[in-house]
Amino acid sequence: MTANVTKLEDNKVRIEVEVPPEAVREGVEAKVRELRQKVRVPGFRPGKAPRRMLESHLGRDYIYMEALQDRLPSWYSQAVIEQNLRPIDRPEIHFDEPLDEEEGFRFSATVAVRPEAKLGRYKGLEVPKRKVEITEEDVEARLEELRGQFATLGAVEDRPVAEGDFVILDFNGEKMTGGEVPGASAEDYMLEVGSGEILEDFEKNLVGMKAGERKQFAVTFPMDYEEESLRGQSVLFRVHVKEIKERELPPLDDEFAKEASEFETLDELRGAIREELEEAARRQVEGEFRTAVLDAVAKEAEVEVPEVMVEDKAEEMVESFERSIRAQGVDPESYYRMAGVSRDEMKERVRDDAADTVKKELVLDAVVAAEGIEPDREQIEHEIGHIAEDGGRKPEEVAETMRRNGTYQILEEEFARQKALDFLVENAVPTEMPEEEEEKVEAAAEGGGAAEKSVTGEE
């Protein structure tokens, strides 16, 4: 099969394709075999009618048109892959002559393809970078966190409940108008007071109670409570505090270091914690810097982002979100109901991020082209090896399938973009970040907002 591509206006191309006679014959014969099994021809058993009788019964034009409907999409896809095109919409297909097993078949397709970004300055850009700084307070906080993991609970007998205590209690909830509230009763329930595990007002009412004390109090459920029937309802709780326990932390000494780690002394453990925090901070800052460099390069570039690409990317992002919550055992439809949002509204919320991601993908593609960047073949083989192992197939088979359906090209694209971003970062000039901006970035990092975007294919 041969194909010629002509560039048109508005990021469109026309592909003129010539399908050889042997490919046409193969398509027609495959359709004949299929129809033999489905169509009953008088005087012949199913699957036994000669082709000429099938043509007489159905008409050659009908068989050819059926074969064309089956094969045209694959002929078009093959031409797209061979010509290394990136369609972003459905093609308009045109042909004048029908299939011909002797002469072959010719058709053309007009389709919109990815626009090319016009790069501005992309090398030597000055980009602020946050300093990696771990304080003694950071080390001590991590040490206290580790210490808490080895805490024990000891009985409290000489004082009432305080926030942070663990209590073992029985409780029963009743509607103010009478009748028990489903799920609002328990026996020997252990609760960390102030943890927010139960309603805030419920936990506050436990503070000051003594072991063995009984108490009743009313709690009003918030308007955003998960169970709709309880929203805004006042419930009377009868509570019996049976035991009070407090967290007892082990002393910070060498014995603790031996128990909590592979180190012999507390000083060694502190040093290891500092190294761990510094390495995590370096990775965080590097991720922030990579994101900032790509932002800066994209700001310098000119690119028109087609709406169809934004729509596809938004759909892809929502599907990715749905897969992630399914993996956590949450049904997407149930999530949308609980969140009070529809799937379409969710897609609309991510639309700006989708447009930004598409723009940056196009910018990285332009850098790949400008610098002649090639994807790392070892990385691709490694990835295909993983896919093959998961599917119980040979890597060569997986690679061939991916080449035929175009996913190999997508994999190459992703790895080339990663190398393009590496190139941009290597050629950027890090500058000192102003203190106010650094505080904002640190706050965003603590909230998970500084993670590198999926446009790079990295976590």
Tell me the C-alpha distance between 455 and 293, whole Å.
Answer: 13
| Long-range contacts of the stretch 284-290 (C-beta < 8 A, 24+) | 284/445, 284/450, 285/129, 285/130, 285/131, 285/132, 287/450, 287/451, 287/452, 288/129, 288/130, 288/441, 288/445, 288/450, 289/127, 289/129, 289/130, 289/425, 289/428, 289/430, 290/421, 290/425, 290/452, 290/456
Report residue 446's pLDDT band, with 50, 70 and 90 as the boundaries: low
Q: 217: which 2 tokens?
A: 């109090």
Give the DSSP per-residue string, 45-69.
-TT---HHHHHHHH-HHHHHHHHHH
Average pLDDT over residues 265-291: 95
Of 54, 81, 112, which marks where a domain is finished? 112
pLDDT above 90: residue 444: no
Looking at the structure, tell me whether residues 268 and 242 fall in a common domain. no
Instruction: Tell me the torsion sign for CA atoms 30, 32, 38, 43.
Output: negative
Looking at the structure, tell me whether residues 18 and 156 fall in a common domain. no
Looking at the structure, tell me whether residues 448 and 334 fall in a common domain. yes
**Residue 255 lies inside a defined structural domain of this protein:** no
Q: What is the number of domains present in the chain?
A: 3
Looking at the structure, tell me whether residues 242 and 275 fall in a common domain. no
Looking at the structure, tell me whether residues 302 and 423 fall in a common domain. yes
Q: How many CB atoms are located within 10 Å of the residue 185 CB?
A: 15
Q: How far is CA 58 from CA 55, 61, 98, 127, 252, in A?
A: 5, 8, 17, 70, 88
* Tens digits of residue pLDDT in 60-80: 899 999 999 999 999 999 999
- Is the Cβ–Cβ distance between 3 and 83 less than 8 Å? yes
Looking at the structure, tell me whether residues 193 and 277 fall in a common domain. no
Looking at the structure, tell me whether residues 411 and 312 fall in a common domain. yes
Report residue 442's pLDDT band, with 50, 70 and 90 as the boundaries: confident
Report residue 445's pLDDT band, with 50, 70 and 90 as the boundaries: low
**Residue 145 lies inside a defined structural domain of this protein:** no
Q: What is the CATH number of the domain that holds 174?
A: 3.10.50.40
Q: What is the pLDDT of residue 440?
A: 75
**Residue 138 lies inside a defined structural domain of this protein:** no
Of 64, 91, 112, which marks where a domain is finished? 112
**Residue 117 lies inside a defined structural domain of this protein:** no
Domain boundaries, position 65: 2-112
Q: How many CB atoms are located within 10 Å of the residue 349 CB?
A: 14
pLDDT above 50: residue 405: yes
**Residue 35 lies inside a defined structural domain of this protein:** yes
- Is the Cβ–Cβ distance between 112 and 12 less than 8 Å? yes
* Tens digits of residue pLDDT in 104-132: 999 999 999 999 999 999 999 999 999 98
Q: What is the pLDDT of residue 447?
A: 58
Tell me the C-alpha distance between 91 and 291, whole Å.
Answer: 35
Tell me how far apart the 2 most distant CA atoms of the chain are, in Å: 101
- Is the Cβ–Cβ distance between 323 and 258 less than 8 Å? no
**Residue 133 lies inside a defined structural domain of this protein:** no
Q: What's the CA angle centered on 459, arms 361 and 338, to 5 degrees?
A: 95
Q: What is the pLDDT of residue 231?
A: 82
Q: How many CB atoms are located within 10 Å of the residue 317 CB?
A: 19
Q: What is the pLDDT of residue 452?
A: 41
Looking at the structure, tell me whether residues 52 and 197 fall in a common domain. no
Average pLDDT over residues 373-390: 92
Tell me the C-alpha distance between 80 and 13, whole Å.
Answer: 11
- Is the Cβ–Cβ distance between 220 and 232 less than 8 Å? yes
Tell me the C-alpha distance between 125 and 145, whole Å.
Answer: 40
Looking at the structure, tell me whether residues 274 and 400 fall in a common domain. yes
Tell me the C-alpha distance between 406 and 85, whole Å.
Answer: 10
**Residue 91 lies inside a defined structural domain of this protein:** yes
Looking at the structure, tell me whether residues 38 and 75 fall in a common domain. yes
Q: Which residue in the block uniquely carries the two structure tokens 């609980």?
A: 338
Report residue 450's pLDDT band, with 50, 70 and 90 as the boundaries: very low
* Tens digits of residue pLDDT in 194-253: 998 889 999 999 999 999 999 999 999 888 887 777 888 889 999 999 999 999 999 999
Q: How many CB atoms are located within 10 Å of the residue 435 CB?
A: 8
Of 179, 214, 248, which marks where a domain is finished? 248
Query: On the CB side of 10, how many CA atoms lie within 13 Å of its CA?
Result: 6
Q: What is the pLDDT of residue 20?
A: 95
Q: What is the CATH number of the domain that holds 9?
A: 3.30.70.1050
**Residue 137 lies inside a defined structural domain of this protein:** no
- Is the Cβ–Cβ distance between 314 and 139 less than 8 Å? no
User: Do you know the residue count of the chain?
Assistant: 459
Q: 57: which 2 tokens?
A: 């019964």
Looking at the structure, tell me whether residues 372 and 273 fall in a common domain. yes
Looking at the structure, tell me whether residues 241 and 270 fall in a common domain. no
Q: What is the pLDDT of residue 370?
A: 96
* Tens digits of residue pLDDT in 413-434: 999 999 999 999 999 999 998 8
Q: What is the CATH number of the domain that holds 422?
A: 1.10.3120
- SS percent in the chain: helix, strand, coil, step 5: 50, 20, 30
Q: 281: closest CA among 132, 140, 142, 141? A: 132
Report residue 261's pLDDT band, with 50, 70 and 90 as the boundaries: very high
* Tens digits of residue pLDDT in 311-355: 999 999 999 999 999 999 999 998 998 888 999 999 999 999 999
Please name the residue ranges forming H helices in 261-394. 266-300, 307-327, 332-339, 343-349, 351-371, 377-391
Q: Which residue in the block uniquely carries the two structure tokens 């004949």?
A: 32
